[in-house]
Structures are given as structure tokens and as C-alpha cells.
Amino acid sequence: MSKHKSLLYTAGIAGVALTIGGCASPGERPDADLNTAQNALQQAVSADAREYEPILLNDAQNKVTDAKNLIEREKYIEAERLLEQASVDAQLADARSETAKAKHAVKEINDNIESLRQQINQDQ
């Protein structure tokens, strides 16, 4: 094999090796996804998700914990997927908690209105 063909052959093998190696890479550390998930969890906790959506909140927290373990093992792609799921779970827990609180407030207002009606009717 000529020197030129040998270099091309070697370069081709190196290119294939890099391509294969790139497919096996763990990806980038999902630090931004971790921050997003943790912020979503904090927001859900602030929205009283522990009271209104404890199971969903717990699922989100467990996914963040599992993702942190994956990050330590440099399994960034799997960690990123878990963190995305955790963010969605936490946001859903937040939204459901806010909805539950709003429903509770509406019920209280309706109960107060009904009490006032009864008082008015008794006074007549």
C-alpha cells in the first residue's frame, strides 16, 4: 500500500472510531436541567403540593434523586430524561395544587354567601 493510501486508510479508521465513540459518549452534564427540576420542585412545595399532590411531588423528588445518581455515574443522557420528567411532574403537582386551593377558596366563598342568604331570610 502506498504511503498516501495508508494515510487515507488510517484517517478513515480514525473517523469511524470517533463516530462510534461519539455515539457511546455520555453527553453533556445536565446541570441546567437539574436546576430547572429543582426550581420546579421548590415551586411545587411553595404551592402546597405536599398537601394536595404528595404522590406526584414525591415521584418528582425521587426522579431528581435518581438523576443525581446517574450524573455521578456520568450517565448524562438518562439523567437528562429523568430530570425532564421530574420537571413536568413538579409543574403538574404545582398546577394541581393551585387548582385545589382555588376550588377550596371558591367553596368557602359560596359557603359564606349561603350563610349570608340564610341570615337574610331569617331576619325577614
3-class SS of residue 2:
coil
What are the pLDDT digits (tens) for 44-69?
Answer: 999 999 999 999 999 999 999 999 99
- Give the pLDDT confidence score for residue 8 in this predicted structure: 47
pTM score above 0.85: no
What are the pLDDT digits (tens) for 83-98?
Answer: 999 999 999 999 999 9
79 closest CA partner among 95, 90, 63: 63
Domains parsed from the chain with CATH numbers = 25-123 (1.20.1270)
